[in-house]
Amino acid sequence: MSTIQFDGVGKRYGNGAYAVRDLSFTIEDGEFMVVVGPSGCGKSTALRMTAGLEPITEGELRIGGKVVNGLSARDRDVAMVFQNYALYPHMTVAENIAFPLASRGASKDEIARRVAAAAQTLGLTEYLDRRPKALSGGQRQRVAMGRALVRDPQIFLMDEPLSNLDAKLRNQMRAEIIGLQKQQGVTTLYVTHDQTEAMTMGHRIAILRGGLLQQVGTPRELYEQPTNLFVAAFVGSPAMNLFRAEFRLTETGPELLTDGAVLRLDPGAPLPAALRAESGHRIVVGIRPEHLSFAPPGTPGLAAEMRMIEELPPEKLVHMTIGADTPMTGGGQPVDADFLTDLGMVAAAHRAPLIARLGIDTAVPDGPGVALHLDPRRLHFFRASDGAALR
């Protein structure tokens, strides 16, 4: 079983600062797990600790059920693909791919057989006699993957392998890596800062922020059920719309109050139980751009001001603003300034931006003032004090 288990794993430096703290999750045998997060969140450190290139200072890391904290990188039976390819410029493609086998003293016949098989799998057969400088970026990355593939490892580790490629090559290489991992069935830990890579490639995704694990789940789980404000704002492009409002339970039903305007929700709307405990408090409300629509004429809606329309066939993005409420507190407690800064929000009255994703032929009302329809079933609610999802 080529599982990877992080059990309270941490990396703490001599000055007391943490790069990674209390990391706990399991990558199952044959799973493609993507670790994603902003720069400096600890994702590359987590991968380097898995590879044995960075010492673990807290917790235990198990590969195949065996604790590997004290094992050298050479003894962990993992293969790593780096961002910068790390090819030897004086060697041919065949020699670069064969290097790990030659280092282990494999026979010439075995080396020839494995190199030929890897080259065929990666479409490199006709380039085996060339040197890296004669290859494109995508071909060089294939060579780096071939070098990892010939080792027949327990684990593939990939550290932002596509970040040096242009957009077209990235799309192509994403599909090739997905197909290769599915064909080989090798447990894979893939690190990236690109959420598109994460959402399209991973069986599951682990999101890090500031060295702490925020959520682990399938792409759909992260998109539809974010555990906090950070995940909600990080996953999705355009990002989830977020605005502040006071939530109230009244005799006529639940209401959201923002900038003096009242948005009444259907009394029968399926609201989270945890939300009801926030009655009378300010919360953060979220809705995905594709779930925003214009209210039919003469029906109540959330007042918004039109700012700009981007036409991106087959859809268009309508940029608007709504009135924000007064300086935000949650249950009488000050707002966490860190996550507000991350989200581009500030603890002061302002106009909150909203984006609606609509079909290219959707009619847009004339005039700067519009009314928006918010389906209560599509709303996300978050506690203002700590950003936790209210479910």
pLDDT at 296: 86
Query: Does 145 have pLDDT greater than 60?
Result: yes
Q: Is the pTM value of this prediction over 0.85?
A: yes
> pLDDT of 347-376, one tens digit each?
333 467 899 999 999 999 887 888 888 888
| 261 within 8 A of 303, measured Cβ to Cβ | yes
Q: Is the pLDDT of residue 334 over 80?
A: no
Mean pLDDT value across the chain: 87
Chain position carrying tokens 């080396």? 111
Q: Which residue has the higher pLDDT, 325 or 322?
A: 322
Q: How far apart are CA 211 and CA 214, in angstroms?
A: 9
pLDDT given at position 43: 96
The span from the CA of 98 to the CA of 269, in Å, is: 62
In this structure, are residues 215 and 207 in contact, taking their beta carbons and an 8 Å threshold?
yes
Domain boundaries of the chain, sorted by first residue: 4-233, 235-383
For the four alpha carbons of 299, 301, 303 and 306, in that order, the dihedral sign comes to negative
Nearest to 120 by CA among 91, 92, 149: 149
Categorize the per-residue pLDDT at 94 as very low, low, confident or very high, splitting at 50, 70 and 90.
very high
| Interval 183-213: pLDDT, tens | 889 999 999 999 899 999 999 999 999 999 9
Q: What is the pLDDT of residue 104?
A: 85
What tokens does 378 get? Answer: 């599509």
pLDDT at 378 over 60: yes
Mean pLDDT over 22-44 rounds to 96
> How many Å apart are CA 245 and CA 328, to the nearest integer?
9
Percent of the chain topping pLDDT 70: 92
In which residue are the tokens 């989200």 written?
343
Task: Supply the pLDDT for residue 162.
Answer: 87
pLDDT of residue 208: 97
Both ends of the chain: CA-CA distance in Å?
36
* pLDDT tens column, 245-297: 899 999 888 888 887 577 888 777 778 889 988 999 989 999 999 999 998 88
pLDDT tops 60 at residue 34:
yes
pLDDT for position 115: 93
CA dihedral 198, 199, 202, 206 (to 10 degrees): 60
On whether the 4-233 domain is CATH 3.40.50.300, my answer is yes
User: Read out DSSP for 30-43?
Assistant: T-EEEEE-STTSSH
Task: Give yes or no for residue 113 having a pLDDT over 70.
Answer: yes
Question: Would you say residue 168 has pLDDT above 90?
Answer: no
Q: What are 343-347's contacts with CB under 8 Å, separation 24+? A: 343/229, 343/230, 343/233, 343/242, 345/242, 345/244
Report d(CA 181, CA 191) in Å as an integer.
15
- Give the residue from 245, 236, 237, 230 showing the smallest Cα distance to 341: 230
Give pLDDT, residue 92.
Answer: 95
Q: Rounded to an integer, what distance in angstroms lies between the CA atom of residue 213 and that of residue 34?
A: 13
pLDDT of residue 169: 81
Structure tokens at 149: 């593939």
Question: What is the SS3 string spanning 256-277?
Answer: EEECCEEEECCCCCCCCHHHHC
Q: Which of 162-176, 232-246, 252-266 has the lowest mean pLDDT?
A: 252-266
**Could you give the percent of the chain with pLDDT greater than 90?**
58
Write down the pLDDT at residue 337.
41
Enumerate residues 6+ apart whose C-beta is below 8 A from 159: 44, 47, 48, 80, 81, 82, 83, 191
CB under 8 Å to 185, separation ≥6 — which residues?
Answer: 30
